[in-house]
Amino acid sequence: MRVALDGFPLSSPKTGIGHYTFELARSLAQLAPGDRFDLISPIPFTAAAASEIEQASLPNLGFFNPRATSFRRHWWAVGLPLYLRQSQVDLFHGTNYEIPFSSRRPTVMTIHDLSFMLVGVHAQRLIWRAGWRMPWMAKRASRIITPSNSIKKDLCEAFDIPPDKVAVTPEAPRPVFKRREDPELLRRLGIEGDFILFVGTIEPRKNLRQLVKAFDQMLRNTSLSPKLVIAGGKGWMMDDFGQFIDKQGVTDRVCLTGYLQDEELCTLYSTCTVFIYPSLYEGFGLPPLEAMACGAPVITSRTPALMETVGNAARLIDPKNISDMAQAMTEMLSDQKAREHYAELGKSHVKQFSWEQTALKTLEVYRDVLSLKP
């Protein structure tokens, strides 16, 4: 079996879908040495991504940039269908919501979430584009993968997709996420003493304005004085976030680190007093599991996908209720036994997730699809 996977997410610094794409491809190649897996993109991969693929030293894992310069703007409509027609690929896996407009090969499509359907979380242009492309592609795909049963349910209801067409393959923290301490990093970031940590792209659905308000409320109503560390690259529709923090009057207690490398995130996960992830909507929610893998107690939102992901191993909050969020942070910061309780629950819970299991379930989807090929 020869599988082509969408390599577009590896052409820019990796965030959630980029990590999913690489970890899945690597794990597939390790699990099925007799099969071939190629990451393809008309745009060159970042040097870091290319280096990681080479360092994996897997003879059945490769990356390829087709010479389709004139088709880059029409990759899904022209360039990719042409490449697949001329190649020996048996199946194409779109790891980032998209598959070719036309293909004689079977296609698998991963839909991570349906956030484009939420008001105020994406630019209007992207909402319009996803609004017609995603349902159309979902109906054309041979099979769909979602990371949670919650998203599968939403998808089937929204697009009238038969449930047996959708397979659920939970994701997992990357192997790098384990306890690690780096005092120099903390000094460089100006972090000392207790701190609350958030990790993720700075975008509207991560609910960071509400988090800052809750943090401010906690500081005003208690004697606690931790820092709030927000670790993540700048996303979209949040250009005024720094000004918002200033207006709240907590600039001296909030640290915006920007995009960090995995080893740096491990240090923050491992040394934070508590990790908080008050997202309004997720398809799965990897950061809470990454925090658990590093031994941090976790607070996260009482929303369907996140509840499915964390089980009973996290303190749950209403992400729209500032007082509830402030109370949860106050309790966790004030109660060492509670922190230890959730840290132990998290370390046990996260062991059930692995990229080997994700790859195994994905391979089952591939083989099932190919068995149905006429």
Q: Domain spans of the chain?
A: 2-172+354-371, 183-352
pLDDT for residue 122: 46
Burial of 151 (0-12, 13-18, 19+ CB in 10 A): buried
- CA 261 – CA 221 distance, rounded (Å): 35
Backbone angles phi, psi at 14, to 5 degrees: -70, 130
Residue 43 DSSP symbol = S
Q: How many CA atoms lie within 13 A of 325 on its CB side?
A: 27
* Distant-in-sequence, close-in-space partners of 244: CB < 8 Å, separation ≥ 6: 209, 212
Asked if 151 and 111 touch (Cβ cutoff 8 Å), the reply is yes
pLDDT for residue 253: 95
Residue 189: strand, helix, or coil: helix
pLDDT for residue 12: 83
* Distant-in-sequence, close-in-space partners of 373: CB < 8 Å, separation ≥ 6: 106
pLDDT for residue 124: 54
Q: Please, what CATH class does the domain formed by 2-172+354-371 belong to?
A: alpha beta
Asked if 300 and 278 touch (Cβ cutoff 8 Å), the reply is yes
pLDDT for residue 119: 45
Write down how long the chain is: 374
pTM, two decimal places = 0.90
Backbone angles phi, psi at 354, to 5 degrees: -155, 150
Residue 273: strand, helix, or coil: coil
pLDDT in tens, the chain (374 residues): 999 999 999 988 777 899 999 999 999 999 999 999 999 998 888 888 888 888 889 999 998 887 655 555 688 888 888 888 888 899 999 999 999 988 889 999 999 998 876 544 445 555 555 566 788 899 999 999 999 999 999 999 989 999 999 999 999 999 999 999 889 999 999 999 999 999 998 888 899 999 999 999 999 999 999 999 999 877 656 677 878 898 889 999 999 998 898 999 999 999 999 999 999 999 999 999 999 999 999 999 999 999 999 999 999 999 999 999 999 999 999 999 999 999 999 999 999 999 999 999 999 999 999 997 65
pLDDT for residue 240: 78
Residue 111 DSSP symbol = -
- Report, in this order, helix, strand and coil percent for the chain, each rounded to 5: 50, 15, 35
**Segments in the chain forming alpha helices (H):** 16-31, 47-56, 80-86, 124-140, 149-159, 183-189, 208-221, 241-248, 262-271, 286-293, 304-310, 322-334, 336-349, 355-371
Please give the single-letter amino acid code of residue 36: R
- CA 218 – CA 330 distance, rounded (Å): 7
CATH of domain 183-352: 3.40.50.2000
- CA 289 – CA 355 distance, rounded (Å): 13
